Structures are given as structure tokens and as C-alpha cells.
Amino acid sequence: MNVILSGKVAVVTGAGAGIGQATAKLFANEGAVVYAADIKGLEWVDEFSSNSGRIVPIQLDICDFAAVKNVVMAIKKGHGRIDVLANIAGLISYELMPMIDYDKFRKMLDVNVVALVHLMSLVSRIMTRQQSGSIINMASMVGEKGSKGQLSYAATKGAVIAATKSAAKELAESHIRVNAIAPGMVGSERFKAVLEEKFAHKINDVPFGRLANPEEVANLCLFLASDQSSYMTGQIIGIDGGAII
Amino acid sequence: MTNLEKLNKIFCEVFSVEESALNNNFDKCNVEGWDSVRQLSLTSSVEDEFDIMLDAEDILEFTSYDNAKAVLAKYDIAL
């Protein structure tokens, strides 16, 4: 079977559902050993099987630095390498500026930015030794163009974009690629519920007239994880059904 | 090779010095070329040799030969 991540070791955060789950499954189906992390349980892994790779579920709070370090160390000891880090875990919020909940905003910065940077820092130290690797960060369309009613979320995703570009510059000499994906509206269970309740009209802003499937975003993750994107780094790639053209 | 000998070897290789130069004055202020890149090279070699992963604050603390020994003690590496 011709699989494009054969022999690769990948870490995928936010793998409990949505884009993270779709990405973990796709990476495994393409031959990788995938450490699928989520703060919640990963029961879906029990029913997953692949002829190519495999998935190792890890219940992990990515804001717990000591726990994250233990996981990274364990993977290093087990495999001696990490080829791909997909930073997909994230929090989202919707509120107008006067209604920003600052505790929630701080937590969102912690998860979406600080934990992401910490993971990049730890994993890149292993990738530096092997002089290769691909890091994929989940940004957002709103991190680039802003969004009414999503200032706090957009600010965290703008930070992800800046962190991605800076990491790409710092790690290029070690042949580690760092890119980010900026999805538009993705039809995860979480977002579909919010969309129906609050933003049904927003679908009119998408020229394709529909939400993205998590699997479509996972396909882009696969491209960035694989050697097919071997000369790409520091890029923020939109996948938004034509919302930004 | 003892742990101390392993540590000394790393310092000697990273800073291109003889082992006799390693004393309590061997620090960032007194050693020419002890910049952040050299410091990361030092901590990276230490991590590989002792199979540990240093916390960020410990990497920052690696600013002298004595500090290095103190940091390793935190990771239960007897010197």
C-alpha cells in the first residue's frame, strides 16, 4: 500500500473531535504512528483500525507543562524522533467587545497561544536533533481578517499566525518547517450548533455556500505533514471556500 | 565515565577548553563566546547525554559551570 506518512511519528492535539480527530485518523491511515491528545477522552480510538499506522490515545491538558513534557519525553524514548506536530487544540468564543469575559479570554490565550508555543518549543528540540520535521498550527481566517463579535478569539489566532512565522524563521536552519492553516467556517459538531443558533446568515459570506468538512482541513494537514510540502515554511494557508479572495 | 566526567567533556567540547579551565569562575560573564546559541548547544548536549528534557527556566539557568551542576542535581543526576 502506498502511504505518504509511512514510518513517521506524529503528535496531534485536539484529537477528541472535529479537525483534530479527522487529522489523527488520516495520518494513521497514511502510515503514521499518531499520538492523539485531548483533554477529554478519546473513546473513538477504540473503534478505529488501520492497516497502515496506528493511534495512541493520550488524555492530556496541554496547559499542564509538566504533563506535556512527560508525554514528549516518552515519545522520544519510544521512537527517538517526532516528525510531525499538529497543534489543533483550541478554544473559541463569540461575544461583542463590551461582553468579553476576561477569564475566558486568558484561558483562550493559554490554550490557543501559550500551550501551542510550549509544544512547538519542546518538540522542535527533538526535531532539531534529527534535522527535520513539520509543525502545523491551527490559525483561523479571523486571525487574518478579523471578525465582528470575535475580537478575543481573533486576537489569539493572530498570535498563532505571528508565532508560526517567527518559529519558521528560527527553525529553518534546522530544516524544520512551520506552517499554519487558516480555516473559514468548519462544520464540526461544535460549530454547527453555534451556527444554527446564532450565525445562520453567515453562510452567505462563503462563495462555496457551505461549511468545510473537518476531513477537508485534515487533507491540508496531511499535505503539510508530508514531504509533498518539503519546500514550504512560514506560510498561512487559507481553506475557506472562497471567503477570502 | 562518571557523570561529572560526562559533564566536563560536554563543556570542553562546546567551549573548546581544557578540563582544567572548568572552575567556579567558568560562567557567562567570564567566558568568551558564551552566547545564547552556545548555551543551547550546551543544554542540548546535556539533555542527550543524561536523557533528560530541561525546563525552560533550567535552560535559562545554565549560565555557569556551577549552575549546570546545580541544575543537574534537580534532575537527580549525581555528580
Its pTM stands at 0.93
- Look at A129 and B56 and tell me if their CB atoms are within 8 Å: no
In chain B, % of residues over pLDDT 90: 99
The pLDDT of residue A191 is 79
- The reply to whether CATH 3.40.50.720 applies to domain A9-239 is yes
Contacts made by residues A108-114, CB under 8 angstroms, sequence distance 24+:
A108/A152, A108/A153, A108/A156, A109/A155, A109/A156, A109/A159, A110/A63, A111/A62, A111/A63, A112/A153, A112/A156, A112/A157, A112/A159, A112/A160, A113/A156, A113/A159, A113/A160, A113/A163, A114/A63
A138/A151 Cα distance (integer angstroms): 17
| B69 domain-assigned | yes
Closest CA to B37 of B20, B58, B62: B62
Tally: H helices and E strands in chain A: 8, 7
Q: Which residue of B has its CA nearest to A72?
A: B53
Q: Which residue of B has its CA nearest to A118?
A: B56
- Around Cβ A121, how many Cβ atoms within 10 Å? 13
The pLDDT of residue A136 is 98
Angstrom distances, CA of residue A205 to CA of A184, A200, A244 = 10, 10, 10
In angstroms, the separation between the Cα of residue B53 and the nearest Cα of chain A is 7
- Map out the domains of chain A as residue ranges: 9-239
Query: Residue A164 in contact with residue A237, Cβ under 8 Å?
Result: no
Whole domain around residue B62: which residue ranges? 3-15+27-74
A186/A241 Cα distance (integer angstroms): 10
In angstroms, the separation between the Cα of residue B13 and the nearest Cα of chain A is 17
pLDDT, mean of each 10-residue run, chain A (245 residues): 91 97 98 97 94 96 98 96 98 94 98 98 96 98 94 98 98 98 90 76 89 96 98 97 92
Best residue in B47, B51, B53, B62 to probe A by mutation, most A CBs within 10 Å?
B53
The pLDDT of residue A72 is 98
| B67 domain-assigned | yes
Q: Is B44 on the interface with A (CB under 8 A)?
A: yes
Q: Is A129 on the interface with B (CB under 8 A)?
A: yes
Question: A243: helix, coil or strand?
Answer: coil
Chain A residues whose CB is inside 8 A of the B44 CB are 125, 128-129
The pLDDT of residue A189 is 81
A78/B51 Cα distance (integer angstroms): 12
Would you call A35 a catalytic residue per the annotation? no
Chain B residues whose CB is inside 8 A of the A122 CB are 53
Q: What is the mean pLDDT of residues B39-45?
A: 96
| B37 domain-assigned | yes
The pLDDT of residue A190 is 76
CA dihedral A22, A8, A184, A231 (to 10 degrees): -160
A32/A182 Cα distance (integer angstroms): 24
Chain B residues whose CB is inside 8 A of the A128 CB are 44
Query: Residue B56 in contact with residue A121, Cβ under 8 Å?
Result: yes
| B22 domain-assigned | no
Closest CA to A33 of A67, A77, A84, A72: A84
**Size of the A and B interface in Cβ pairs below 8 Å:** 15
Best residue in A82, A118, A125, A174 to probe B by mutation, most B CBs within 10 Å?
A125
Q: Which DSSP category does A240 fall into?
A: S
| B79 domain-assigned | no
Query: Tens of pLDDT along B4-31?
Result: 999 999 999 999 999 999 999 999 999 9
The pLDDT of residue A1 is 64
Q: Is B45 on the interface with A (CB under 8 A)?
A: no
Each residue of A127-156: b (16+ CB within 10 Å) or e?
bbbeeebbbbbbbbbbbbeebebbbbbbbb
With a CB cutoff of 8 Å and minimum separation 6, the contacts of A93 are: A101, A104, A105, A108, A150, A152, A153
> Considering A35, A94, A102, A153, which one is annotated as catalytic?
A153
For residue A178, the cross-strand partners are: A135
Chain B residues whose CB is inside 8 A of the A76 CB are 53
CA angle at A71 for the pair A68 and A74, rounded to the nearest 5°: 150
Query: Tens of pLDDT along B55-78?
Result: 999 999 999 999 999 999 999 999
